[in-house]
């Protein structure tokens, strides 16, 4: 499956606004009740605000022109009541609609994040972190802006507009028709230009994603930029993406502003049309002057929401472009699904078996060619070989970070794909080449994803650590379990990160533990300690060790030599050494 | 308390932000006002039409002409206004981003780490965006709203000053409720931004730690963390919303009271004959004109509050003191290094304690020691990535800070411990510094034993390597980084645990190559393997921030029990190393 979001075909964007909006509504179906309530409030509110001019018009025609002030006062009282009621309903409506907006944003962010969690490692390798962050943050924020700032106005404007439109038609059918002619022009104009506006916004968001990716890369690697004297280069690269972002944003901005002046012109023209038409109709005795005054107000009630709709419509296009980018992620499926076991052979002697495995990263060359081997329970295996030979790839297949392109990986005689992620991750521990810590404390990192000890006090946990023979490693951290660590930066050394990753994996008590150069930056004295800890793991634990430093693999029961995508048994350590010494470096 | 003071400082700030664009903003406001001015004229024309009709002097021709002309002029000015608005806001955003990146690029490493890259990312993207929104929406809207309010008020006064004053009495009430809301919402917006930072951090870590999360199958845990942050964000969003949900109806109610006043009082005037029916119609039309901008300001208050909070965050970055070096020495580096009583503190923790040693130019020195002994910091001091808390680091008699940093860094090659590969071609990754020539790149590639590997790539040196270098193996990344350092033709080469991810065979070849191709280079190597550095001129043993022993291998074997212990921990394998 292709996970590269930047290579997505354009055709997905073709889906109509309506269809996209419907999908979006489906996602927020829990908000249906509030949405309906808010809509009802909005209807009442719009009705009340439309009632105002009608009452005023009536009062003018019947009382002011007939010089009856007490009638004016009565209508004033009615009007005040209507305004107060409108105030309450208005507040109710704002609360409800705003709540819908906030909850929608909440649901949407959760949905994107949840989806991202479902996707396999391949997805993260094919996309830049900065671009993903931009999608989760900035694109959902575009939707947020629409929902929290525009949706209320959007819906209430549409309701007011329709209400006013109906009033215009009901009061006087012919005058109404005249007043609505410019609206038809607006409709056509909008329909024609909307896709273009959305496209421009999509392009602008894409460059924002690139900007974010560039910043992410540069800032996270800032020390290289300083040490290699490339501050100017950082500025230059940043200026380039900044400039592109500026260009596309200006285009998007201009596109977004195309509606408003035109809408405004049409709404003004409507007034003129009503005046001219109204005067003509009064002359023919079909219309009164009081009606004309309130009619002019109604025209305003129809067109001034339409005028605000112009900029809201642009916001809607922005939100839809953001939604498209989010939908691209939501539409992805993990290619690592759990399958029915077809190879079930019951009990098997070997814990793990590779059977004719071929593998290549998506879009790349084949890395592993027809590999078969098996690992037995309780033994220690070492994978050695030159850099780039396929050791890490082999280990990644064992942990099912990827599936083989052909062949099968069997765990306890069953296809590894038939295990649930939960069961699999309990059995297989994998200490990655690049250790990763979450910002927090050592304790939080040790217990990360390990619910067994979560409720333990520090004392109890220290006991557990002692039983796992890890207490000497913990002692290397000044404040023990409560030592603070940060995910990025140099507050903690690479070796220390590796120690935490090691302890974390051991505490999970996996049946199969893979160490991918997991101790490369740890000093040799501590490393001996790690060796002892590995020795003292429960008997049935199988260990797979990938290392360059040979002392770490001395204790292996069996050594596999991995080179050029082939995995072969190397026999003795001496034999493995000879092989290693005699191969070229590059594969 | 702190927030109060910073709030006061920022108030002139957000206006001064627009100063360089005074011309543009002036034109923007001018066009906005012109457009709106003509807009005010429209009801007048309509009103005149109504009056003309009641007096029987109605003539459709000139009236339509006048009206259409006004409408056309308005169209032109609004388009001009919108174009300018777009350019101004995008330009402010672009320039703000440029000055942020300039500022960041001049800062030292520790500053960037402290400021936190993911927060800086939010500053550069989301915070700038809300300021952009402020410029594009609020500036013109505020200007035109205030203008329309004033204009409408004047026209109302002209038509009937008594009625006008009665209607205008509503304005101060709106102003007061507005002010109260803004005051209340400001802190909420700042808090909200902080929750957003937290949310971003959770997202960032879940992306960067994706592999670990999948190995451990802790997706649900990450989701729960996210849910926590997101719920906080939701709660803040809802509290902000509650305040605004109160503001708009209040404004609408007060504005509606205006219509009521017109009906009752205006009705009275018309009945008593002190006001014409046409004036009355115009009066109600102007009132709608008056209400709309007031409502708009209500909606804009959200944007303004958000932008103010964002600008406060951005100013904090822009006004941070410059930490970049002011060194001027541009002597060429020989490689004589001297550490004099150097102490480095991270917060309260002493990472290096009173370190003193010296290195003669052209010699080879190894630093060994346990994890977290401070080895990397030793190299960082030599690169100027961190500064000593006390003491001096001298290179050829000058402190590192004395050197012109560009000049200095061009002569010092540093191979970092963690793999840092940029998402660009292999060539750009290696020739990372501008002054690298084709020749020096070639030499570096050969020395790092990358020639065959590069030849095997589909597009040779022009192959793009992916972010975080995930398309390269650990050892390949390490060698690309070595080549990057060597391509500088450095006088001083600093290796931080270079050998950790390269197999023994390759390592030996590469180190031999360095000796041969870069004769006379001063080498400082942090390493774990004694076997590869036994013949070095000096070996320093660093433990818990202190140098506990130093000398040649032979000397240390006699004098330092700790060294012997480390040596023994590796001895069984050194048999193999020696064979090769």
What is the per-residue pLDDT across A375-428, written as a single tens digit (0 to 9) for each?
A: 888 888 888 877 777 888 888 888 888 888 888 888 887 888 888 888 888 888
DSSP tag of B466: P
pLDDT at residue A246, as a whole number: 92
CB proximity list for B438: less than 8 A, separation 6 or greater: none
pLDDT at residue A344, as a whole number: 56
How would residue A1 be classed by pLDDT, with cut points 50, 70 and 90?
Answer: low
Does the structure show a pLDDT above 60 at A482?
yes
| Mean pLDDT computed over B68-88 | 87
Closest CB to A422: pick one of B217, B412, B475: B217
pLDDT at residue A581, as a whole number: 62
DSSP for B521-568? Answer: -EEEEE-S-SGGGTTSSEEEEEETTEEEEEE-HHHHHHH-HHHHHHHH
| Chain B nearest C-alpha distance from A19 (Å) | 27
Angle at A198 (CA atoms; ends A196, A202), nearest 5 degrees: 115
Tokens of B249: 């109806």
pLDDT digit string, tens, across residues A56-73: 778 877 877 777 788 888
Q: Which of these ranges, A161-170, A243-252, B16-25, B503-512, has the smallest mean pLDDT? A: B503-512
pLDDT digit string, tens, across residues B377-393: 888 888 878 888 888 88
Determine whether A539 is exposed, middle or buried from the number of CB atoms within 10 Å of its CB (0-12, 13-18, 19+): exposed
Stated as kind and residue range, the H or E segment containing B578 is helix B561-579
Instruction: Report the distance separating Cα A157 and Cα A302, nearest Å.
Output: 9
How would residue A248 be classed by pLDDT, with cut points 50, 70 and 90?
Answer: very high
pLDDT at residue B575, as a whole number: 45
Q: Which of these ranges, A282-291, B97-106, B358-367, has the smallest mean pLDDT? A: A282-291
| Distances in whole angstroms, Cα of residue B476 to Cα of each of A125, A367, B420, B479 | 17, 15, 11, 5
Looking at chain A, the whole-number percentage of residues with pLDDT higher than 70 is 91
> How many cross-chain Cβ pairs, A to B, lie less than 8 Å apart?
505
> CA of B487: which chain A residue's CA is closest?
A228
Looking at beta carbons, which residues of chain A come within 8 Å of B288? 297, 300, 304
Q: A48 or A148: which carries more pLDDT confidence?
A: A48
Instruction: Report the distance separating Cα B465 and Cα B456, nearest Å.
Output: 14
Is B238 at the interface with chain A, CB within 8 A? yes
| Distances in whole angstroms, Cα of residue A246 to Cα of each of A81, A145, B90, B540 | 51, 20, 6, 53
Closest CB to B370: pick one of A102, A434, A525: A525
| Mean pLDDT computed over A321-342 | 79
Looking at beta carbons, which residues of chain B come within 8 Å of A476? 370-372
Residue B157 phi, psi dihedral angles, 5° rounding: -60, -40
Decide if A276 contacts B127 (C-beta within 8 A): no
pLDDT digit string, tens, across residues A270-301: 888 887 887 788 778 777 777 777 777 778 77
The rounded mean pLDDT for chain A is: 80
Does the structure show a pLDDT above 50 at B578?
no
pLDDT at residue B467, as a whole number: 55
pLDDT at residue B325, as a whole number: 65
Does the structure show a pLDDT above 70 at B580?
no
pLDDT at residue A551, as a whole number: 62
pLDDT at residue B572, as a whole number: 58
Other Cβ atoms within 10 Å of B319 Cβ, number: 10
Looking at beta carbons, which residues of chain B come within 8 Å of A424? 217
Q: In what order do the strands lie in the sheet with A406-411?
A: A366-376, A350-360, A406-411, A414-415
Looking at chain B, the whole-number percentage of residues with pLDDT higher than 90 is 0
pLDDT digit string, tens, across residues B324-348: 667 777 778 787 888 888 888 877 7
Does the structure show a pLDDT above 80 at B292?
no
Closest CB to A231: pick one of B39, B105, B223: B105
Tokens of B237: 């969003």
pLDDT at residue A587, as a whole number: 34
Closest CB to A117: pick one of B101, B104, B223: B223
Is B388 at the interface with chain A, CB within 8 A? no
Looking at beta carbons, which residues of chain B come within 8 Å of A250? 86-87, 90
How long a stretch of residues is chain A? 587
User: What pTM does this model have?
Assistant: 0.80
> CA of B100: which chain A residue's CA is closest?
A235
| Mean pLDDT computed over A336-350 | 66
Q: A340 or A84: which carries more pLDDT confidence?
A: A84
DSSP for A14-79? Answer: GS-HHHHHHHHHHHTGGGHHHHHHHHHHHHHHHHHHHHHHHHHHHHIIIIITTT-HHHHHHHHHHH
Contact B101 A268 (CB under 8 A): no
Looking at beta carbons, which residues of chain A come within 8 Å of B285? 296-297, 300
Choose, out of B114, B263, B486, the residue to mutate when testing the contact with A (most A CBs < 10 Å): B263
Looking at beta carbons, which residues of chain B come within 8 Å of A264? 39, 74-75, 78
Interface of B with A in 532-561 (CB under 8 A): none
| Chain A nearest C-alpha distance from B18 (Å) | 18
Does the structure show a pLDDT above 70 at A548?
no
| Chain B nearest C-alpha distance from A198 (Å) | 16
Does the structure show a pLDDT above 60 at B573?
no
Tokens of B4: 């109060």
How would residue B1 be classed by pLDDT, with cut points 50, 70 and 90?
Answer: very low
pLDDT digit string, tens, across residues B16-50: 778 888 888 888 888 888 887 787 777 777 777 77
pLDDT digit string, tens, across residues A418-432: 888 888 888 888 888
Q: Which of these ranges, A251-265, A568-582, B403-417, B512-526, has the smallest mean pLDDT? A: A568-582
The rounded mean pLDDT for chain B is: 80
Instruction: Report the distance separating Cα A296 and Cα A298, nearest Å.
Output: 5
Contact A102 B241 (CB under 8 A): yes
| Distances in whole angstroms, Cα of residue B514 to Cα of each of A517, B183, B336, B521 | 25, 65, 19, 9
Instruction: Report the distance separating Cα B526 and Cα B367, nearest Å.
Output: 5
- Considering only CA atoms, which of B414, B419, B426, B421 is closest in space to residue B501? B419
| Mean pLDDT computed over A157-172 | 81
Instruction: Report the distance separating Cα A524 and Cα A521, nearest Å.
Output: 9
Is B470 at the interface with chain A, CB within 8 A? yes
| Chain A nearest C-alpha distance from B15 (Å) | 22
């Amino acid at each position: 499956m292709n996970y590269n979001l930047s290579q997505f075909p354009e055709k997905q964007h073709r889906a109509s606004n309506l269809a996209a909006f419907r999908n979006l509504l489906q996602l927020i179906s829990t908000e249906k009740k509030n949405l309906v309530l808010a809509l009802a409030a909005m209807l009442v509110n719009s009705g009340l605000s439309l009632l105002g001019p009608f009452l005023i018009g009536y009062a003018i025609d019947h009382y002011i022109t007939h010089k009856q002030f007490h009638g004016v006062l009565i209508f004033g009282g009615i009007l005040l009541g209507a305004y107060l009621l409108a105030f309450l309903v208005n507040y109710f409506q704002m609360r409800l609609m705003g709540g819908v907006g906030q909850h929608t944003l909440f649901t949407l962010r959760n949905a994107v994040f949840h989806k991202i969690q479902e996707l396999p490692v391949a997805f993260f390798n094919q996309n830049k972190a900065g671009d993903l962050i931009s999608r989760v943050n900035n694109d959902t924020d575009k939707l947020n802006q629409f929902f929290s700032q525009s949706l209320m106005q959007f819906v209430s404007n549409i309701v007011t507009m329709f209400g006013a439109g109906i009033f215009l038609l009901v009061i006087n059918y012919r005058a109404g028709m005249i007043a609505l002619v410019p609206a038809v022009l607006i409709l056509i104009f909008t329909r024609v230009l909307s896709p273009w506006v959305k496209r421009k916004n999509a392009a602008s968001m894409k460059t924002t994603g690139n900007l974010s990716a560039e910043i992410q890369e540069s800032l996270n690697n800032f020390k290289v930029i300083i040490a290699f004297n490339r501050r100017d280069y950082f500025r230059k690269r940043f200026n380039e993406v900044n400039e592109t972002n500026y260009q596309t944003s200006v285009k998007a901005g201009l596109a977004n502003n195309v509606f408003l002046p035109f809408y405004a012109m049409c709404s003004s023209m409507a007034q003129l049309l009503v005046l001219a038409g109204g005067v003509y109709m009064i002359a023919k005795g079909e219309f009164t002057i009081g009606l004309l005054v309130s009619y002019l107000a109604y025209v305003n009630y129809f067109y001034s929401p339409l005028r605000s709709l112009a900029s809201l419509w642009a916001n809607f296009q922005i939100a839809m472009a953001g939604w498209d980018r989010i939908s691209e992620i939501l539409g992805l499926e993990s290619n690592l699904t759990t399958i029915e076991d077809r190879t079930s052979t019951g009990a098997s002697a070997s814990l793990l078996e590779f059977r004719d495995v071929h593998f290549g990263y998506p879009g790349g060359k084949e890395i592993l060619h027809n590999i078969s081997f098996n690992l037995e329970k309780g033994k220690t295996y070492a994978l050695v070989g030159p850099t780039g030979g396929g050791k890490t790839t082999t280990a990644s297949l064992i942990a099912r970070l990827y599936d083989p392109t052909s062949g099968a990986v069997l765990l306890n005689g069953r296809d590894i794909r038939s295990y649930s992620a939960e069961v699999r991750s309990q059995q297989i521990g994998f200490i990655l080449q690049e250790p990763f810590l979450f910002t927090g404390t050592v304790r939080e990192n040790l217990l990360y994803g390990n619910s067994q000890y979560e409720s333990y006090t520090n004392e109890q946990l220290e006991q557990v650590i002692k039983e796992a023979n890890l207490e000497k490693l913990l002692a290397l951290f000044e404040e023990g379990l409560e030592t603070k660590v940060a995910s990025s930066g140099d507050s903690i050394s690479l070796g220390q990160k590796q120690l935490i990753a090691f302890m974390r994996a051991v505490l999970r008590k996996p049946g199969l533990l893979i160490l991918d150069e997991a101790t490369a930056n740890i000093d040799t004295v501590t490393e001996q300690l790690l060796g002892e800890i590995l020795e003292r793991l429960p008997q049935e634990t199988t260990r797979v060790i990938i290392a360059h430093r040979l002392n770490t693999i001395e204790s292996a029961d069996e050594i596999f030599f991995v080179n050029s995508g082939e995995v072969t048994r190397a026999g003795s350590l001496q034999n493995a050494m000879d092989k290693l010494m005699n191969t070229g470096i590059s594969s | 308390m702190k927030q109060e003071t910073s709030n006061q400082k920022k108030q002139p700030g957000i206006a001064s932000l627009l100063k360089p664009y005074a011309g543009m903003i002036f034109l923007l406001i001018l066009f906005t006002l012109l457009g709106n001015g003509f807009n005010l004229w429209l009801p007048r024309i309509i009103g005149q039409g109504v009056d003309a009709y009641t007096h029987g002097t109605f003539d459709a021709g000139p009236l339509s002409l006048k009206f259409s002309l006004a409408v056309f002029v308005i169209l032109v000015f609004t388009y001009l206004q919108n174009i300018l608005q777009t350019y101004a806001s995008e330009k402010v955003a672009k320039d703000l981003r440029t000055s942020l990146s300039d500022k960041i690029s001049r800062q030292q490493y520790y500053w960037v780490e402290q400021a936190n890259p993911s927060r800086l990312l939010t500053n550069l993207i989301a915070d700038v965006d809300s300021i952009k929104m402020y410029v594009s929406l609020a500036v013109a809207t505020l200007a035109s709203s205030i203008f329309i309010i004033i204009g409408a008020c004047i026209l109302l006064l002209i038509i009937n000053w008594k009625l006008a004053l009665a209607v205008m009495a509503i304005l101060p009430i709106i102003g007061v409720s507005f002010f109260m809301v803004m005051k209340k919402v400001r802190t909420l917006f700042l808090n909200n931004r902080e929750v957003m930072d937290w949310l971003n951090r959770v997202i960032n870590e879940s992306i960067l730690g994706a592999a670990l999360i999948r190995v451990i199958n802790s997706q649900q845990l990450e989701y729960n963390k996210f849910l926590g942050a997101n719920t906080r964000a939701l709660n803040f969003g809802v509290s902000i919303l509650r305040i605004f949900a109160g503001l708009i109806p209040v404004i609408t109610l007060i504005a509606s009271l205006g219509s009521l006043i017109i009906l009752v009082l205006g009705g009275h005037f018309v009945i008593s004959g002190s006001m014409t029916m046409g004036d009355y119609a115009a009066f109600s039309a102007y009132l709608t004109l008056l209400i709309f901008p007031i409502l708009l300001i209500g909606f804009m208050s959200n944007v303004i509050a958000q932008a103010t909070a964002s600008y406060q965050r951005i100013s904090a970055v822009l006004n941070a003191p410059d930490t970049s070096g002011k060194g001027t020495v541009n002597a060429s580096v020989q490689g004589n290094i001297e550490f004099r009583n150097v102490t480095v503190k991270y917060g309260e923790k002493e990472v290096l304690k009173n370190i003193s040693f010296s290195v003669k130019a052209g010699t080879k020195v190894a630093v060994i020691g346990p994890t977290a002994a401070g080895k990397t910091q030793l190299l960082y001091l030599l690169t100027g990535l961190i500064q000593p808390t006390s003491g001096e680091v001298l290179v050829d008699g000058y402190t590192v800070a004395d050197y012109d940093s560009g000049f200095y860094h061009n002569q010092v090659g540093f191979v970092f411990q963690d793999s840092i590969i940029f998402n660009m071609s292999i060539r750009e990754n290696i020739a990372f510094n501008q002054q690298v020539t084709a020749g020096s790149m070639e030499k570096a590639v050969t020395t790092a034993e990358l020639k065959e590997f590069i030849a095997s790539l589909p597009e040779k040196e022009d192959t793009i390597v992916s972010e975080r270098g995930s398309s390269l193996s650990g050892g390949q990344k390490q060698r690309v980084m070595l080549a990057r350092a060597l391509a500088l033709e450095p006088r001083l080469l600093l290796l931080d645990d270079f050998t950790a991810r390269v197999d023994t065979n390759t390592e030996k070849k590469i180190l031999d190559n360095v000796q041969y191709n870069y004769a006379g280079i001063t080498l400082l190597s942090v390493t774990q393997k004694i076997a590869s550095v036994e013949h070095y001129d000096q070996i320093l043993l660093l433990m818990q921030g202190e140098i506990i022993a130093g000398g040649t291998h032979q000397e240390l074997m006699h004098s330092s029990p700790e060294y012997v212990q480390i040596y023994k921990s590796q001895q069984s394998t050194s048999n193999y190393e020696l064979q090769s």
